[in-house]
Chain A
Amino acid sequence: MSSTDTHHDLVDEHIVEEARRIYPKKVDGHFRHIKWGIQFATLAIYYFLPFVRWHRGPDAPSQAVLVDFPHRRFYFFFIEIWPQEVYYLTGLLIIAALTLFLMNAVAGRIWCGYMCPQTVWTDFYMTTERWIEGDARDRIKLDNGPWTLEKIRKKIAKHFVWILIAWWTGGVWVLYFADAPTLVYKLATLQPGVGEAYLWIGILTFTTYVFAGWMREKVCLHACPWPRIQAALTDEYALNVTYRYDRGEPRMSAKAATAARAHGAAAGDCVDCGQCVAVCPTGVDIRKGAQLGCIQCGLCIDACDSVMEKLHRPTRLIGYDTEMNLKRRECGEAPIYKPLRVRTVFYAVLILAIGGFMLVTLATRDDMHVNVLHDRNPLAVRLKDGGVRNGYTLRFSNKKPDVRRFTLSVAGVPGAQTEVVGVPPDAKGQVTIEVGADQTREARVLLSTHGAPAAKGQTPIVFTVTDAETGVATEVKDVFITP
C-alpha cells in the first residue's frame, strides 16, 4: 500500500492477526516444577480414576466414579445421586465458578496456566513434540527445511504419538460412563453393542488432537471466554505475572549496564535477551504489561530468573506481583501483599456456605422419596352412586440397597376408600407396596368417596408412606377435588 495519508495506519492494521507459529523453548525452574507436578497429578487422576473400585453391595456398580445413564444414577465414591437430586450438580457448578473467581482474585489466571485441561494437554503434547523433534531451534529448522526422510519420519512419529495420546484420552472418557474393565474388554475384543462408545472415542480423539496439537494458544486467545470475563473480575491486588519495569528499564546489554553503573548512570536489569518471550507458550512479551494472551503460567519467570542468576543480579525481575505494588514502587513505597480483601473473603464465604449446605443436605437426605402426581384429565370423576373419585400416580424411590415394604394410608377425606391398582389389600385392609433395592416403583392410587360427596372444591389430603420394618414415615401432601 502506497498511500501515506493519516488514514493509512488505520487501514494497514489487520483486523485478523496474521497466523504465526509459536515455538516455545524448554525451560526449567521453580514454576516449571509446579507445572510438572500439577500436570502429572491431573492427568493421573483423569487416566486412572475410572479403574478405582468402590464396593456398594451386590446390586449396585462397584466403580468409584460412574455416570450411569441407563439406570439414571451418578456415583461418586460414597455419594449416590438420583435424577431428582441433579441440583447437586448445579451446586458443584456454582462452587466451581466461585472457586475460579477466588483463584482469580488471589492470583489472576493461574487456572489457565496450571490446571485448565487445554493447558495440561497442550503441555503434554509439547513435551512429546520436544522429545521427538527437539527444542525450539530444532523445530524451527525442521519446519523451514526441505522434506527429507528425517523430517517425514519425525513428523509421522510425532502425529502418531499425538493421536495415540488423543485416542487414549477419548478412550478413558467413555470409561466414566460404564464399568471400566468390562468396557475395556468389550472394546478390545470388538464386541457388539458398544458402537456409541467407539463414536465418542472417535469424537474425543479428534478434538483432543486438534485442540492440543494444532490450536493450542489459539483456543486461549480466540475461543475461550474466560480471559474476557477475567479482565472484569480482577483488581489491582491480584497477583499476576508482572515485569518490574521500574527495575528492568532502561534495557541494555550486560556489558553496557556494568559500564553505565560504574559511571553512576541509570541501567536496568533487563538485558533484552528475549528468553521470556522464547519460552512463552502463547507467544506473549510480558514486558509489554498485563495482556489477554498471558495465561499466568510463570514459565517466563523461570527463564528470566536463570538469566538473572547467571548475571549475578537479583531474581524475580519477572514475578508474581500486583499492579498495586508497581504503583507503590513508582511512588517509592514498600510493596505490600493483601490476600485478605472484601472480594476474596466474600468468595471464600460463599464457597464455604454453598459447600456446607450441600454437605448437610447430602448427609441428612431421605433414603425414601415419594412423589405424587394428581390426574389432570380428568381432575375428578363422578361415580354411579354420586360419589367422587380422584386418581393419583405415586412414585416411590427406594434409595437403600435393600428391598423394602411400605404401607400406604391416605388421610383428609373422611370415609374415602383407597384402592391401589394391582395391589390387593390384606385382611386388615392394609395396602403394602414392595419397592426393589435402589429402585423406583409407580403405583396408581384411586381415592373414592361414596354417596354424599365431600365438600366442593379442593380438600387437602396427606399420603403417609411407612416403612414396614423401621416404621419411619414419609408424608406427602396433595388435594382431593370435588367438582
Chain B
Amino acid sequence: MTTMSEDTFDKGKVRIDEVSGTPTTGHEWDGIEELNTPLPRWWVWTFAVTVIWGLAYTIVYPAWPTLSGGTQGVTAWHSREQVASEVADLQVQRGPVLDKIKDAPLDKIEADPELLAAARTVGKVAFATNCASCHGAGGQGAKGYANLNDDDWIWGGKLADIKRTIEHGVRWDADKETHVSAMPAFGKDGILTPEQISAVADHVRTYAETPDSDAPTAEGEKLYADNCAACHGVDGKGNPELGAPALYDQVWLYGSDKPSVIARIVNGGGAVMPAWKGKLDDTTIKALTVYVHSLGGGQ
C-alpha cells in the first residue's frame, strides 16, 4: 500500500490523495489522477505461478502447432494411448465375466442370471454404438429397418440365427456367407404391368392392419401364386431360408399402405446390413446376440 511505482514521470507530482489517503502515481489526465493501489502480493504470486505452470505445460504436453502437425511435448503423451490403456484396464476388470461369456454356449448364457445380466449390459452398449443408428435406440426399427422387439424375424429369430445375421450381415458383398435374397423389380423390369401390380398389392394387403383397398380379386391371387409364392410361400407365411418376409401378417417392414406395398413390388431388392465379424470381437457379438434375443424374446 505504501510502495510507489518507480517509473513515475513526474516525481514532483507524487502526493497523498486527500479523499482516500492513498499515494498517487503521479499520472494525471485532465485533472484525474491515478491512485497507486498495487495488486495484492498473493495475487501477483498466483499470476506468476500460473504463467510458469502454463509454460511448463506447453513443454510437457503437446501444445504448439507447427506447419506439419505440432510439438509433441517431452512426455510424448497422447490421448489415444491413454484411452487405449483405460480400455485395457476395463478389460481386466470385466475379464472374468467376459471370459465366461466367451466360453459359454448362447443358450447357457441366457439361462444363467449372472451371465444374462452381464451380456445384456455389454450388448446394450455395443447395440447403442453399432446398431442403434439403423435399428433405433431400443431396437424399435423404422421403415425399412427391422423392429427387433416383435416376433417377425426375416432371417430367423433363434439365438444362432441372430448371431449369424450379426456376423455376416445382409447383402453385404464383402462377406461370402452373407444373407442374400433378391426380390425382382417387378415394375422396373417390366415383369408385371401397373394394373397387375395393383392387383397383387390388394391381394397381399388382405391381412394387413387396415384393409382399406379394393377387394382382392381372383387375378391378384393368381398373379401372387405365379410370381410371389415361390419365395413368400403359398399362404404368404414367408421363408427365413430365403429371407422372404411373411406377407400375411401385421408386421410390415416397408409399410402396409398401398403406395408402400406397390413401391416394394415395383422396385424389388432389399435393405443392406453390414457384417460385424472382424469389426467386433466374438464375445461382443455373443453379448449382442443375447441382448437382441432378449429384447422381444426371439423365437
Is A471's CB within 8 Å of the partner chain B?
no
Given A378-B138, A386-B209, A441-B117, residue A3 in contact with residue B294 (CB < 8 A) = no
The answer to whether A391 and B113 have CB atoms under 8 Å apart is no
The answer to whether B249 and A385 have CB atoms under 8 Å apart is yes
Report B-chain residues with C-beta under 8 Å of the C-beta of A441: 113, 117
The answer to whether A421 and B116 have CB atoms under 8 Å apart is yes
- B118-162 CB mask vs A (1 if < 8 Å, else 0) is 001000000000000000111010000001011110000000000
For the complex, what is the distance from the CA of A384 to the CA of B111, rounded to whole Å? Answer: 26
The answer to whether B246 and A377 have CB atoms under 8 Å apart is no
Cross-interface CB contact of B149 among A5, A11, A385, A389, cutoff 8 Å: A389
Report B-chain residues with C-beta under 8 Å of the C-beta of A391: 149, 295-296
**What class of interface size applies to chain A in its complex with B?**
20 to 34
Q: Name the interface residues of A373-429: CB closer than 8 Å to any CB of B.
A: 375-378, 381-386, 389, 391, 419, 421-422
The answer to whether B251 and A421 have CB atoms under 8 Å apart is no
Report B-chain residues with C-beta under 8 Å of the C-beta of A378: 136, 138, 140, 147, 149
The answer to whether A3 and B16 have CB atoms under 8 Å apart is yes
Is B202's CB within 8 Å of the partner chain A?
no
Report B-chain residues with C-beta under 8 Å of the C-beta of A385: 249-250
Cross-interface CB contact of B116 among A7, A422, A446, cutoff 8 Å: A422
- B160-193 CB mask vs A (1 if < 8 Å, else 0) is 0000000000000000000000000000000000
Is B278's CB within 8 Å of the partner chain A?
no
Number of interface residues of B (CB under 8 A): 32
- A1-16 CB mask vs B (1 if < 8 Å, else 0) is 1110101100110000
Cross-interface CB contact of B137 among A12, A377, A446, cutoff 8 Å: A377
Is A154's CB within 8 Å of the partner chain B?
no
Is A442's CB within 8 Å of the partner chain B?
yes
Cross-interface CB contact of A389 among B19, B117, B120, B150, cutoff 8 Å: B150
Given A389-B296, A434-B113, residue A377 in contact with residue B136 (CB < 8 A) = yes
For the complex, what is the distance from the CA of A434 to the CA of B112, rounded to whole Å? Answer: 11
The answer to whether A383 and B16 have CB atoms under 8 Å apart is no
Specify the main secondary structure of chain B where it touches its partner.
loop
For the complex, what is the distance from the CA of A2 to the CA of B136, rounded to whole Å? Answer: 79
Cross-interface CB contact of B138 among A5, A7, A375, cutoff 8 Å: A375
The answer to whether A7 and B19 have CB atoms under 8 Å apart is yes
Is B62's CB within 8 Å of the partner chain A?
no
Given A384-B150, A421-B297, residue A376 in contact with residue B113 (CB < 8 A) = no
User: Shortest beta-carbon distance, A142 to chain B, in Å?
Assistant: 28
Is A56's CB within 8 Å of the partner chain B?
no
Given A421-B116, A444-B294, residue A1 in contact with residue B150 (CB < 8 A) = no
Given A422-B116, A446-B296, residue A381 in contact with residue B16 (CB < 8 A) = no
Report A-chain residues with C-beta under 8 Å of the C-beta of B105: none
The answer to whether A377 and B19 have CB atoms under 8 Å apart is no
The answer to whether B251 and A422 have CB atoms under 8 Å apart is no
Is B18's CB within 8 Å of the partner chain A?
yes
Cross-interface CB contact of B250 among A2, A383, A389, cutoff 8 Å: A383
Cross-interface CB contact of A422 among B19, B21, B111, B140, cutoff 8 Å: B111
Question: Closest residue to B115 on the A side, CB-wise?
Answer: A422
Question: Closest residue to B140 on the A side, CB-wise?
Answer: A378
For the complex, what is the distance from the CA of A11 to the CA of B22, rounded to whole Å? Answer: 8
Given A382-B250, A382-B251, residue A7 in contact with residue B21 (CB < 8 A) = yes
Report B-chain residues with C-beta under 8 Å of the C-beta of A383: 150-152, 250-251
The answer to whether B138 and A422 have CB atoms under 8 Å apart is no
Given A386-B250, A391-B295, residue A377 in contact with residue B138 (CB < 8 A) = yes
The answer to whether B117 and A442 have CB atoms under 8 Å apart is yes
Question: Closest residue to B137 on the A side, CB-wise?
Answer: A377
Cross-interface CB contact of B297 among A2, A8, A446, cutoff 8 Å: A446
The answer to whether A8 and B138 have CB atoms under 8 Å apart is no
Q: Name the interface residues of B62-103: CB closer than 8 Å to any CB of A.
A: none
Given A377-B140, A389-B296, residue A384 in contact with residue B251 (CB < 8 A) = yes
Query: Which residue of B21, B111, B117, B137 has the most chain A CB atoms within 10 A of its CB atom?
Result: B21
The answer to whether B138 and A376 have CB atoms under 8 Å apart is yes
Report B-chain residues with C-beta under 8 Å of the C-beta of A3: 16, 18, 21
For the complex, what is the distance from the CA of A429 to the CA of B209, rounded to whole Å? Answer: 31
User: Shortest beta-carbon distance, B139 to chain A, in Å?
Assistant: 8
Is B20's CB within 8 Å of the partner chain A?
yes
Enumerate 12 A-B pairs (CB-CB under 8 Å) in ascending A order. Answer: A7-B19, A8-B21, A378-B149, A383-B150, A383-B250, A384-B250, A386-B209, A386-B250, A391-B295, A419-B297, A422-B110, A444-B120
Given contacts A7-B19, A7-B20, 20 further A-B contacts (CB under 8 A): A2-B16, A8-B21, A376-B138, A377-B136, A378-B140, A378-B149, A381-B140, A381-B147, A381-B149, A382-B251, A384-B249, A384-B250, A389-B149, A389-B150, A389-B151, A389-B296, A391-B296, A421-B297, A422-B111, A434-B113
Interface residues of chain B, those whose CB is within 8 Å of chain A, are 16, 18-22, 110-113, 116-117, 120, 136-138, 140, 147, 149-152, 209, 246, 249-251, 293-297
Closest 10 A-B residue pairs measured CB to CB? Answer: A377-B138, A384-B249, A378-B140, A11-B21, A421-B294, A381-B149, A422-B110, A3-B21, A386-B250, A381-B150
